[in-house]
Structure 1
Amino acid sequence: MPRVLSSSDVEDFRDRLTDAAERLFGRHGPERMTMRHVAAELGVSPMTPYRYFKDKDDILAAVRTRAFNRMAAAVEAAFASATDPVARSREVGRAYVTFALEHQHAYRLMFDLSQSTEADYPDLVAACTRARAMMTRQAAELIDAGLITGEPEMVAHMLWSALHGAVVLQMADKLSPHIDPVTLRRETFLTLLKGLGLDLQSSSRHRPAPRHAAATRSTGRRTPRP
């Protein structure tokens, strides 16, 4: 007689399926990946994934939902780790880049496609909204502090677009050999923020010493950053 699965058993196996699907989407692309690939990756029967997910779109939505929630959690923690608007904005950017570079398959699935049935997955919609809200919140704080001007959601999308573009160029290895990705992101943001009214001198009081300063002094070299 088959063992009755508990709710934790179901969730654990769904997580395993989602992990496998994320790897396979990265390996084969969403178009070529099949539920049979997922089953083979886990060494289970071809029909087993259908006990947990309706179809490939269902599992793709689960992969993307988890990725958006993980990214949102990372930037939320970064936002909470600093005490002023400029530092918070910087930490949010670092957390975003770190997530993207450490989870490249998931990041591409988050942004490289849009499922026609996305509205059918409320958890995915909620996860996307959560991530977008965090980006808007850090922009709103800069505006509320009088450091820049603009409408929060528009400013957030401007900054997000710039950050995403720089990250994708780096991931695709399309940057010139003479362009340092950290410098590119910093200069892009400074240019945008200055255009929005940021006075670098008056906002300098918000800037703590860089994390890598001590390492630079002791070794004579800048420590690598995401």
Structure 2
Amino acid sequence: MAVLLTDEQVHDVRERIRQVAERQIAAHGIAALSLRSIATELGWTAASLYRYFASKAELLDALRAAAHNRFSDRIEAAHDSTDDLWERSRAIGDAYVDFAMQEPAAYQVMFDYEQEEGEKSDDLRAAERRSHLTLTTYVREMAEAGLFEGDPDQIAHTYWATIHGLIVLRMAGKLDASPGFDTLRHAAMRLITRGARPDRG
């Protein structure tokens, strides 16, 4: 007879599975991940893992929700670290890059794996809405303060698309040479920022 676990114990086991899954994704990629490979690393039977996740798709859904929420924790902390809007923007950019570099498997599962909207859990949809909000709120605040003009969502998405592209290039080993990742990132952000600033005439 299976042992009944408390909600807290179930959460702890699922968290342990998540950590193993992200480690395997970092080492071998999303395609190589399977419940069987995780069970083998944990020393479990594959059947025992199905008590916590019914399928690889369900596990990836949970991984993505957890990754989005950890990402949002970082961005929200950066947002709240200062009241200066320009310093806040820089802090958010730094937090974004730090998360991607420190948790590359989580970053990969957030953006390199996609699900049909109808297949997403409520937890994942909520986590995605939260992370989208973290990346648009500060730009909207800057626009409201007169520091930017134009559509805040478009400006925020331009920032995001640029920094994401640079991160993908860095992860692929394409930005190791001059001018270097940080130099290029700051130059790209300055160019976007200048274009979004109002014309003071």
Alpha carbons 1:64, 1:106 under 8 Å: kept = yes
TM-score (norm 2): 0.93
Alpha carbons 2:14, 2:52 under 8 Å: kept = yes
State the alpha-carbon separation in 2 of the partners of residues 13 and 157 from structure 1: 36
- Do structure 1's residue 32 and structure 2's residue 24 form an aligned pair? no
State the alpha-carbon separation in 2 of the partners of residues 160 and 120 from structure 1: 23
Question: CA separation of 1:118/1:73 partners in 2, compared to 1, >3 Å: closer, same or farther?
Answer: farther
Superposed counterparts of 1:164-183, under 5 Å: 164-175=164-175, 177-183=177-183
Structure 1: unaligned runs, 5 residues or longer: 203-226
State the alpha-carbon separation in 1 of the partners of residues 87 and 118 from structure 2: 34
State the alpha-carbon separation in 2 of the partners of residues 149 and 126 from structure 1: 29
Which position in structure 2 is the counterpart of 1:211?
none
Secondary structure at the counterpart of residue 47 of structure 1: helix
Structure 2: unaligned runs, 5 residues or longer: none
- Letter of the 1:103 counterpart: E
TM-score (norm 1): 0.83
Secondary structure at the counterpart of residue 27 of structure 2: helix
Which position in structure 1 is the counterpart of 2:112?
112
Which position in structure 1 is the counterpart of 2:86?
86
State the alpha-carbon separation in 2 of the partners of residues 6 and 138 from structure 1: 40
Shift of 1:133: 0.5
C-alpha RMSD of the superposition:
1.7
State the alpha-carbon separation in 2 of the partners of residues 42 and 113 from structure 1: 24
Which position in structure 2 is the counterpart of 1:17?
17
Which position in structure 2 is the counterpart of 1:67?
67
- Hey, which bits of structure 1, 4+ residues long, moved more than 4 A? none
- Letter of the 1:160 counterpart: W
